[in-house]
Amino acid sequence: MIILIGGEKGGTGKTTLATNLAAMRALAGHDVLLIDSDPQGSANYWAQNRDELTIQPRVACVQKFGKGLAMEVKDLAKRYQDIILDAGGRDSVELRSALVVVDKVYLPIQPSQFDVWTLNSMNALVETAKGFNPTLQAKVIISRASTNPSVQESEETRKLLTDFPNLEPLELIIRDRIAYRKAAKEGLAVTELKPKEAKASEEMTALYNEIFNHE
Ligand SMILES: Nc1ncnc2c1ncn2[C@@H]1O[C@H](COP(=O)(O)OP(=O)(O)OP(=O)(O)O)[C@@H](O)[C@H]1O
Ligand SMILES: [Mg+2]
């Protein structure tokens, strides 16, 4: 399966989700490749750090940029069971190119009106990409939501997500938790942290199952 974590808004947790999913897929025994198509290189730094700390299983990671990305991904898909692509937080040639070859794109947004507005253009990009990639599935996931139960932002944001015919809103929510930052720093997925981080592990496992449960 080829998965893209993308979107036009910065800092929504794309790299966090991509690195967690890649490590979790590797832990489940799959031959997975993480592709970092953001010149900032955060996913690549995470994978390098994981290598330097000799954490097993290893997560293979390559950096690929430019409009040739689609061809590269198609080629790499012959050699890996799964590919997880991390795209930067803007409309880029990499984002557009990747949309043509991936099976599913996940669009994390923070529960904010500013993030919801960026979905208008994502909806249009997905529509165009579907012309070349008719089976493309695009799903929006609320990310970095408050853990405070009195904050209703996620529910309010979810109501706004019904306006985009090409984008399917997901029920599950990724919340803002220290565990994600801790795992990122240590080259880990939240499910690998010791002591166990139950809540973060549960929500990442829910996302993992949503993506890979049919395989
Ligand atoms: N669920 C979360 N809980 C806590 N911190 C988070 C979470 N998701 C992301 N962060 C933190 O927020 C910051 C931005 O996250 P990240 O780099 O994953 O976002 P991004 O969408 O990839 O950003 P960019 O658009 O720059 O590529 C990082 O410091 C990261 O550790
Ligand atoms: Mg990123």
Query: pLDDT per position in the chain (215 positions), as tens?
Result: 999 999 999 999 999 999 999 999 999 999 999 999 999 999 999 999 999 999 999 999 999 999 899 999 999 999 999 999 999 989 999 999 999 999 999 999 999 999 999 999 999 999 999 999 999 999 999 999 999 988 999 999 999 999 999 999 999 999 999 999 999 999 999 999 999 999 999 999 999 999 998 65
Residues with CB under 5 A from ligand 2 (ion): 14-15
Edge to edge, the sheet with strand 82-86 lists 60-63, 32-36, 82-86, 2-5, 104-109, 137-145, 168-175
Dist. CA 46–CA 86, nearest whole Å: 12
* Rounded distance from Cα 169 to ligand 2 centre (Å): 21
Element (H, E) at 209: helix 198-212
Dist. CA 25–CA 10, nearest whole Å: 25
Whole-number pLDDT of residue 149: 86
Q: Is 66 left (phi over 0), alpha (psi -120 to 50) or beta?
A: left
Q: What are phi and psi of 20, to 5 degrees?
A: -60, -45
The structural domains of the chain, with segments of one domain joined by +, span: 2-212
Which of 4, 8, 15, 201, when mutated, tests ligand 1's pocket best, judged by the most ligand atoms within 8 Å of its CB? Answer: 15
pTM here?
0.97
Q: Which atom of ligand 1 is nearest to the CA of 16?
A: 18
| CATH number, domain 2-212 | 3.40.50.300
